[in-house]
Amino acid sequence: MRIAIVGSGGVGGYFGGRLAASGADVTFLARGAHLDAMRARGLRIISPKGDVHIPNVRASADPAEIGCVDVVLLAVKLYDVESALASLPPLMGPNTAVIPLQNGVDAAALVDRAVGREHTAGGTCYVAAVIAEPGVIRHTAMDHLLFGELDRVRSPRLTAFHDACRPAGFQATLSDDITLDVWTKFVRLSVLSGMTTVTRSPVGVIRDDAELWTMLQAAVREAMAVARAKGIAVAATSVEDVAKAYAALPPQTKSSMLEDLERGRRLELPWLSGAVVRIGREAGVPTPTHAFINAVLKPHVNGRTN
């Protein structure tokens, strides 16, 4: 199985690196200093699960140089999806599956419009990983990759990809309902991203402050209500599930959106708390907590301009 990673930052670099280290045929589509470093020194992952160095990593800036693959992990930020879609056609074979791993609930529809429903799968992931420096991925918590066909069929192509993931050392799930999984992640991540970023604090600070914890729970309930208004049967225990999940996180865990804010980068806010507000408005569901988060962070959405 040939695998292409489009977007070789924290998410793509981590899962792609683990796959490559296990012997899978992986090529990274990358650019700039990160690409130069991977070509010169390989790809290194620093992780509490064990560090990895892939000295002879395959990486290119040109999708035509990579050619047809079996699976594409589309791991760019949401605001880069539109430009990344142009790189997909050279990677497409007759049965290629594109698995978008973006936060939010909009990515699969964008891929569908670009390459067609037959090439579009669903995906999501739980991982805290960033580019620490060019050629180096720093992983701090979680490493669960979920994927599945949008029609809920257990296809041979994704079964084969699941088999390729087994020896890679991360949790991989071939989902029977990836749309539900994507929305479940959306409920959780819109809250984690919004709360950590608006407070400029890691999860431990929020978890240990009663008022912030109450605010977080309100944000979970709002996102749940929006999902249900869209016909998505997210678990009735979502508040409890989020509390349990956050209790298991290292206290220093930050969302990628907080990392982006601290580095002066663009924010995925319009597709997280902003999307909760937008979809809630369309569905007639009030979302005051997410509206507050969205309003406070909106001045920073395009990153630092100086």
Q: Which whole number is the average pLDDT over 130-141?
A: 94
- pLDDT-based confidence at residue 165 (cuts at 50, 70, 90): very high
Q: How many CB atoms lie within 10 A of CB 76?
A: 23
Per the model's pLDDT, the better-predicted residue between 127 and 294 turns out to be 294
Burial annotation 129-141 (CB, 10 A radius, 16+ → b, else e)? bbbeeebbbbbbb
Contacts (Cβ under 8 Å, ≥6 apart) of 279: 105, 226, 229, 230, 285
pLDDT bin (cut points 50, 70, 90) of residue 122 is: very high
- What is the model's pLDDT at position 28? 98
Instruction: List, for residues 170-205, the tens digit of each pLDDT value.
Output: 999 999 999 999 999 999 999 999 999 999 999 999
CA–CA gap between residue 101 and residue 146 (Å, rounded): 9
State the pLDDT at residue 141. Answer: 84
User: In the prediction, which pLDDT does 306 show?
Assistant: 61
Bridge partner list, 122: 148
Mean pLDDT of the chain: 96
Is the dihedral angle over the CA atoms 11, 14, 20, 22 positive or is it negative?
negative
Q: Is residue 305's pLDDT more than 80?
A: no
- Give dist(CA 224, CA 221) in Å, integer: 5
pLDDT band of residue 8 (cuts 50, 70, 90) is very high
Question: Of the segments 21-25, 126-130, 242-246, 302-306, which one has the largest average pLDDT value?
Answer: 21-25
Closest CA to 161 of 151, 150, 172: 172
pTM of the model: 0.90
Euclidean distance between CA atoms 211 and 209, whole angstroms: 6
Output the pLDDT for position 304.
87
In 153-285 the beta strands, taken as DSSP E runs, fall at 171-174
**Rounded mean pLDDT of 216-237?**
96
